[in-house]
Amino acid sequence: MKPQYQPLFDSFKLKSGVELNNRLVMAPMTNFSSDEAGHVSDAELSYYEHRSAGVGLVITACTFVTANGKGFHGEFAGHQDEFVPSLKRLADGIKSKGAKAILQIFHAGRQAPAALVPNGDVVSASAVSSEQNPSVTPRELSEAEIESIIRDFGETTRRAIEAGYDGVEIHGANGYLIQQFFSPHANRREDRWGGDLEKRLAFPLAVVREVKRVVAEHAKAPFAVGYRFSPEEAETPGITMEETFRLLDTLALEELDYLHVSLMEFWSAPRRGADESKSRIEWIVDRVAGRVPVIGVGSIHTPDEAAKAFESGIELLALGRELIIEPHWVQKVRDGQESDIATTLTRNDQERLNVPTPLWQAIVNTPGWFPVAD
């Protein structure tokens, strides 16, 4: 291995005591491949196992904590105890290859397709449709329902503990329910769950504290709790970098194991609330100021790009699309075979890359998402 890549392979211990054998993470990526009942499929399990041998940590695709929180076809379920064996199967598969396993937990909120939730009852902080799901106007949640969903995040955390995961990631990014409560676009409430910035922080904070409470009560071994966030929204009104700084300050007080930025491009510049003298990730690292480890992500393909990413001050780096294109990325860097790393794929690579058919169809039929070479 070249000396400049050594920082990628340094071990890292999270606040909870979970120990990672390197600084590289498999990013959470929806794969649309569970069975109709919501169980992890054989193809899905094989896909994860194929990519778990090199990275220090695998963060799974999101699992929904409430029946009306399902966001995708082929999403595996975590909202009932009957799914613990399915969740355990995935955790065991990941851990058998040497990586730590983190279950990402979420509620889709207004992003849920009406056909996937009971009675088509799509819910959110307020009755405001999204630009991503414009045909559906969600129903505003009652206070009792909000409190119930908070408990559901805790219950799914308990299931993750029972299934043998090493932690959970609270999905507060990508426009889903937790972000909807923080967003001035989605949240127009005038009660204790919405209004000014402090009240829009109430739901994310309540979820974090309920998850932490359940971990303290049920976990018998080190168990990590992370939080993923999107730093900005395109909508007006929408989340700005300035508001995200307040979110980070609040989360930094909650004894979390990490904060995980959701970005398509690692070095992307801010839109609003911070100037362009620094990238979003640099602003975030500066604001967090070492209080919580930061996971960076976004279109990192080569080991040189990964090494440069660590110069931003992040503690951990997640690879998403690149681990689909090159499942053995970590091993090739470690073994000095970086010249053999693939950064594009072809339409004939599905079997070789061990990618389930629903995900493969999305890859080859979504222009611009993956670098598909003809």
**CA 257/CA 176 separation, integer angstroms:** 21
**CA 113/CA 72 separation, integer angstroms:** 7
Low-confidence ranges of the chain (pLDDT < 50): none
Tokens 């073994």: give the residue: 335
Let me know: does 241 contact 270? Beta carbons within 8 Å. Answer: yes
- Residue 221 has a CB neighbour count (10 Å cut-off) of 10
pTM recorded for the entire structure:
0.98
- Residue 350 has a CB neighbour count (10 Å cut-off) of 17
Burial level of 36, CB count in 10 A (0-12/13-18/19+)?
A: exposed
**CA 103/CA 62 separation, integer angstroms:** 7
Residue of 47, 165, 176, 258 marked active site: 176
User: Please, what's the largest Cα pairwise distance for the chain?
Assistant: 58
The pairs formed by 136-142 with CB atoms below 8 angstroms and a separation of 24 or more are 136/110, 136/112, 138/109, 138/110, 140/189
Q: What is the pLDDT of residues 157-179, one digit of tens each?
A: 999 999 999 999 999 999 999 99
**Residue 20 in 3-state DSSP?**
strand
47 is catalytic: no
Measured over the CA atoms of residue 120, residue 125, residue 127 and residue 130, the dihedral's sign is: negative
**Residue 87 in 3-state DSSP?**
helix
Locate 307 and state its tokens: 């090494």
**CA 219/CA 108 separation, integer angstroms:** 26
Let me know: does 236 contact 270? Beta carbons within 8 Å. Answer: no
Burial level of 260, CB count in 10 A (0-12/13-18/19+)?
A: buried
List of domains in the chain: 3-373 (3.20.20.70)
Would you state the pLDDT for residue 374? 75
